[in-house]
Amino acid sequence: MDKTQPTNINVTLVDLNNFAHYPTLSMGLLARYIRDFGFNLKVISPLSNGIKSRKREKVETIIDYYKTRLIFSQLKSIRRLITIAESIPLIKERFLNKGKLYKAVISAIKPDTDLVLISTYNENYSICKKISEYLHKKGIPVIIGGPAFNDLKQVDQFLDITGVSYVIGSEIDNYLGQMLFDFFQEKDITSYPGVYTKGVKKTPNSYIFKELDQLPVPDFTDFAWDKYPNKIIPYMTGRGCSWGKCNFCSDVVLVNGRSYRSQTKEKILSDLKALSKQIDTHIIAFTDLKLNSNIQVWNALIDGLPKIIENPIWFCSVHVDDRNKNGLDFETLKKAKEAGLTRMSFGLETASQRLLDDMKKGTTVAKLDAFVNAAYKAGISLRATMFIGYRGETAQDLKETYEFLLKNQHCFERIKACRFQMYDMTPILDELTPQEREQMFARQINHLYATKDYIKYKKGILKVVNKINSKRLNEAARAFDGVM
């Protein structure tokens, strides 16, 4: 087949992500690969079909504080009720608006469709099942892919769905077009890395795409830009995390997070210039796990973005590590602010040095303290994530975190506090002692900790977090309100 010629094969690409305030980056890349190979493509995205995105974070009230108290309860009876509720499809689907999304998807798939591709996470299992079973009755094959499908347990679960021909857990940048052509030629596509089907022996996929400078400019022309709150370019300069050692992190064990790879600074700036023209916007969301993984790229963005995009506005996630030059000192952050860096997110996790060391975070409380104050002084809106309930956590650990937050609360605009959970394939699972394994319940260990001081400091942390989250974002950062 001459791949430059139309194939008259109709492929539909389904995006199930209705959380984001901007398109899913992978959808733009997949669209580019499929079109460039010559297939006719239709993209189904939630916003294009009347499914509004949901704010990830909001201005909190005192009611939210008491809700959080309930969610963080350590009573096993309450934990069990929450776990049961989360596992009931009806409750989950109503919360995530999946019922409406399902109807929008199936109504948008045309009868002459030859193949439906669904990119998903495992949280969308129930809607994938409904869509695939519906399409099976229509005689339309389905291929499901996503970053979590290097976990063979997840692969088996989705392969059991009626109508699913293949499940793919791989970076397909080098071969998607040819693989789809082979599929239509009824060839065995399990010869490609990370492609699984029923009845064929499965082995973990070790393939990693390394030539990131070969990535094309994503194609976002299918998305309903007029329906997004703001036109935000999603872009990733590199895949993986240059640190990559945190024992709880599931991002670095997913398909595209394994090992760190970066595009060159020249390629990145060229892409961003092209995307700014394609979408007609100056707002950028860097979706890298940690944008300061590559200091050369970090500095190039600070120096180069204002030269290629007029008045750029951007946000990113960073890692506060122990490198002497990690790009997070006040002078660098001040320059970044002047270059349009408006909002940052980072993993605080805890302010207990003992727990930071156990987590293998590669940082110190002193560095975290210096960073949050440097960001505040530079005028950058700061968001953090943190845990309560890490293994072996004591009242003293919570006391240290509480005091850190109390002292530095003026530096934060949002904090996402979560119950610590251990996810499949993460290193911490291999580190657990037999006693810790016996104590596990709903991916957590210390759900039974209930000393008087522990509860006191936990309440104190939640109260400070609620106070921080009750503020409106500063005016400069409101383009990203509810985004992260």
The confidence score (pLDDT) of residue 49 equals 63
The confidence score (pLDDT) of residue 313 equals 95
Look at the pTM and tell me if it is higher than 0.85.
yes
* Single-letter amino acid code for the residue at 440: M
* pLDDT tens profile 436-448: 887 777 677 765 6
pLDDT at 92 over 60: no
Tokens of 421: 């959970």
Q: Which single residue is written with the structure tokens 């857990």? A: 169
The confidence score (pLDDT) of residue 176 equals 95
**Backbone conformation region of residue 139, classed left if phi is above 0, alpha if psi is from -120 to 50, else beta:** left
* pLDDT tens profile 249-258: 988 888 888 8
C-beta separation of 23 from 483 below 8 A: no
Stretch 239-259: mean pLDDT: 90
Q: What percent of the chain has pLDDT over 90?
A: 63
Domains and CATH numbers, the chain: 10-54+97-196 (3.40.50.2300), 229-480 (3.80.30.20)
The confidence score (pLDDT) of residue 2 equals 47
The confidence score (pLDDT) of residue 217 equals 95
Give the burial class of 395: count Cβ atoms within 10 A of its Cβ; 0-12 exposed, 13-18 middle, 19 or more buried. middle
Work out the number of other CB atoms within 10 angstroms of the CB of residue 232: 24
Work out the number of other CB atoms within 10 angstroms of the CB of residue 384: 24
pLDDT at 90 over 60: no
Helix (H) or strand (E) holding 268: helix 265-279
Maximum average pLDDT range among 115-129, 186-200, 399-413, 436-450 = 399-413
The confidence score (pLDDT) of residue 435 equals 82
Cα–Cα distance for residue pair 389/391, rounded to 1 Å: 6
Q: Which of 323, 363, 378, 319 is nearest to 345 (CA)?
A: 319
Tokens of 260: 């760190």
pLDDT at 94 over 70: no
Tokens of 383: 């968001």
The confidence score (pLDDT) of residue 275 equals 96
C-beta separation of 231 from 281 below 8 A: yes
Largest CA distance in the chain: 72
The confidence score (pLDDT) of residue 477 equals 82
pLDDT category of residue 225 using cuts at 50, 70 and 90: confident
Residue with the bigger pLDDT between 312 and 126: it is: 312
Stretch 371-391: mean pLDDT: 95
The confidence score (pLDDT) of residue 60 equals 85
User: What mean pLDDT is reported for the chain?
Assistant: 89
Cα–Cα distance for residue pair 188/100, rounded to 1 Å: 35
Stretch 217-226: mean pLDDT: 90
Residue with the bigger pLDDT between 187 and 84: it is: 187
The confidence score (pLDDT) of residue 168 equals 95
- Note the residue count of the chain: 484
Cα–Cα distance for residue pair 450/456, rounded to 1 Å: 10
Strands of 26-160, DSSP E = 40-44, 115-119, 142-145
pLDDT category of residue 15 using cuts at 50, 70 and 90: confident
pLDDT at 96 over 60: no
Q: Compute the C-alpha angle 378/380/381, nearest 5°.
A: 150
The confidence score (pLDDT) of residue 374 equals 98
Q: Which of 172, 173, 109, 170 is nearest to 141 (CA)?
A: 109
Q: Phi/psi at 32 (nearest 5 deg)? A: -65, -45
pLDDT at 95 over 80: no
Q: Which of 165, 124, 127 is nearest to 146 (CA)?
A: 124
Stretch 139-157: mean pLDDT: 92
The confidence score (pLDDT) of residue 1 equals 44
pLDDT at 480 over 50: yes
C-beta separation of 291 from 330 below 8 A: no
* pLDDT tens profile 273-323: 999 999 999 999 999 999 999 999 999 999 999 999 999 999 999 999 988
Cα–Cα distance for residue pair 161/165, rounded to 1 Å: 9
The confidence score (pLDDT) of residue 148 equals 86
Q: What percent of the chain has pLDDT over 70?
A: 90
Q: Phi/psi at 472 (nearest 5 deg)? A: -75, 150
Tokens of 320: 């506060």
Helix (H, G, I), strand (E, B) or coil at 156: helix
Q: Compute the C-alpha angle 270/272/276, nearest 5°.
A: 120
The confidence score (pLDDT) of residue 479 equals 78
Residue with the bigger pLDDT between 100 and 202: it is: 202
Residue 444 gets which letter from DSSP? B
